[in-house]
Each structure stands twice: as C-alpha cells, then as structure tokens.
C-alpha cells in the first residue's frame, strides 16, 4: 500500500536521510546543510531543495540503534551532607547517538561494483567534511540531535545460512558534546560555587582553617 504524503515525509526524514551534514563540505550550499542522501542515493541539492529520484527501494536505510542516549549524567560517589548537596553534584555528559545503515548490494543497480564506488565516495566526502570543521544533525523519531560529531563508522554485519552477504550493515556513532561555558556551568549546577565559597585561605604553619560562605572558621590546631 502506498504511503500518504506524511508517510513519505517521515520515511525521507527518518529512514532515508536522517543525517544532515552542516558546514564543512556543505558550507557552499544555501543554508549550509546537506542531507546524507546526496552521498548515499545520488540525489543533488539546488536552491536548498533535494532534486532527483528515490525509488521504492532506497540503496541505504537508516534506523536508530539501542544505546542512543537522551540524557547522561555523572553523580558523585562520596558521602554527601544532604540531598541538596548530592543533587548539586550532578554533572551532565555528552549524549551518544547510534544509527544503523543497511546498504546491501542489489542485483538491479550494478551490485558490488556500484556499492564499492558509493562507499568510496561516501568515505572521501565524510573525511573531507570532518577535516574542514563540519558537524552533523541526527534526526530520530524521538528527538533531533543538533551539533553532533562523528566518532566512527563500524561494520556490524552478521553472517548466516539465511544471509550470505557481507558488509551490508554499518553503525554510525555520533557524540553530542557540551559546547559552551554557559552550558557547562548549567550542567555543573552550583557545585563549583559551593567549592569556591569554601576555598582555604593561606595556611599558617601550625594551624588548619577553612572558610564557609566567606566567613573564616576559627583555626584548629594541627594534630601532632
């Protein structure tokens, strides 16, 4: 059964071309964004629009993989004074986005010959994009990850009696880093300010002292 307009749009955005190249080799394109379908499907971009034909069986099919994170945090493991202090020790970590690309060799499009040429062009383009400061947008049905960096592309193909083809499944792993000082400050919460308000003043030779909210605690003698 043919998909309606919204079904076709969903398929194009989240299955055929959910990875967008930003800046880098896409810097000269209007808007500075290039869909990965330009590399996997052989379509073109003109005036910010895709041009070309994508058949009923696209050569590449993307799906989100298990292990993609929506939120990651580190929590301190020391003994905290109370829950407020414990909550303020939470530090955000970059999200990990994992996509699977299925690209078997089809008999009707040149088979392994065309597949080899496609992957050679894909690698050259992604290498150039990464080396020229390009980054990525990864779209999943649950969330759109902006400002991502490509960590690796790994062959995850299996082999069995039912499937004798090799190198048909590839794992794209992205990381969404914390970019600005303000984002890092928000992630750290008020933990650093608590530390800052408790920085020790110069220590005398025979005493230990500490400040709390700027007030000096009376010095206590050092134990022998």
pLDDT per residue as tens digits for the range 149-189: 999 999 998 876 667 788 889 999 999 998 765 444 554 45
Q: Are residues 32 and 109 in the same domain?
A: yes
Separation of alpha carbons 109 and 111, rounded Å = 6
pLDDT bucket at 109, cuts 50 / 70 / 90: low
Q: Are residues 162 and 206 in the same domain?
A: no
Together in a domain, 140 and 213: no
Two structure tokens written together for 203: 């220590």
Inside any domain, residue 23? yes
Domain that holds residue 217: 199-224
Beta bridge partners of 46: 49
Q: What is the pLDDT of residue 142?
A: 94
- Judge whether 129 lies within some domain: yes
pLDDT recorded at residue 170:
93
3-state secondary structure of 101: strand
Q: How many domains does the chain have?
A: 2
Residue 146 in domain: yes
At 25-65, the pLDDT tens digits run 999 887 888 899 888 876 555 544 554 555 555 578 999 99
pLDDT(134) > 80: yes
Of the candidates 107, 178, 181, the residue with the CA atom closest to the CA atom of residue 147: 178
- Whether 94 and 156 map to the same domain: the answer is yes
Residues 134 and 217 in one domain: no
| Maximum Cα–Cα distance across the chain | 85
Domain shared by 155 and 208, yes or no: no
Residues 78, 82, 85, 89, CA torsion sign: positive
């Amino acid at each position: 059964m043919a998909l309606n307009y919204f079904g076709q749009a969903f398929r194009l955005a989240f299955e055929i071309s959910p990875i967008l190249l930003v800046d880098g080799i896409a810097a000269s394109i209007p808007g500075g964004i290039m869909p990965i379908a330009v590399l996997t499907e052989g379509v073109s971009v003109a005036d910010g629009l895709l041009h070309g034909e994508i058949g009923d069986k696209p050569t590449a099919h993307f799906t989100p993989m298990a292990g993609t994170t929506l939120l990651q945090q580190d929590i301190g493991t020391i003994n905290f004074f109370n829950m407020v202090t414990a909550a303020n020790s939470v530090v955000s970590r970059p999200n990990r986005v994992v996509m699977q690309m299925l690209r078997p060799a089809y008999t009707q499009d040149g088979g392994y010959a065309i597949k080899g040429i496609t992957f050679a062009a894909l690698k050259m383009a992604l290498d150039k994009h990464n080396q020229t400061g390009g980054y990525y947008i990864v779209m999943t049905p649950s969330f759109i990850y902006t400002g991502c960096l490509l960590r690796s592309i790994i062959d995850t193909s299996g082999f069995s009696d039912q499937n004798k083809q090799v190198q048909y499944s590839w794992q794209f792993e992205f990381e969404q880093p914390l970019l600005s000082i303000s984002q890092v400050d928000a992630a750290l919460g008020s933990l650093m300010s608590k530390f800052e308000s408790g920085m020790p003043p110069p220590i005398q030779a025979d005493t230990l002292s500490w400040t709390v909210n700027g007030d000096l605690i009376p010095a206590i003698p050092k134990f022998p």
